[in-house]
Amino acid sequence: MENTATSEPKIWQGQRQVETDLITNMFLITGAFMSTTHLFLFATALCASCFLGYTPLFIPVIYVIVSLVTYGIYAKDKSAAENGSWRVSETTLHTLSLLGGWPGARIAQLAIRHKTAKTGFQLAFWITVAVNCAGLAWLHTKPGAIFLNTYTFKVEALIINEMRVPTITPT
């Protein structure tokens, strides 16, 4: 006979596990749907911002490049996890997400089912997404636009000066 003062009957423990599994699965399914929706909305907003002239074209290019690199690193880490070899640190994965690779990270999470079950990792991941999107939104404010334009023109000037063909002057 079970001691009801110290433990629950086994049937209640089993029911609690079923309820926990159901909630976890609903969270993962809802998260996957919401993630694809967020990716679509983000891509649409970024393209509209470029089209309207608020965001220079190199910003989406950076997102695509960093996302591709991040996806590759997630795939490498998934392979390493399955083979028991050297793993990529979670700090590296979060840093890449923060730098604009979060769309690639989320696609990798959904496509290859990597790092989706770790609640702490997912919480940190979504924080990096929020910080990255807040930074992008800040670029649409007046101080952000001034900052972006100042450094965009400086980078463009450096590139143009490096690409400039020297002219030969007669002696």
| 19-49 burial code (b ≥16 CB/10 A, e <16) | eeeeeeeeeeeebeeebeebbeebeeebeeb
Amino acid 58: pLDDT: 85
Amino acid 29: pLDDT: 55
Q: State which residues of the chain have pLDDT below 50.
A: 1-2, 12
pTM of the model: 0.69
Amino acid letter, residue 72: G
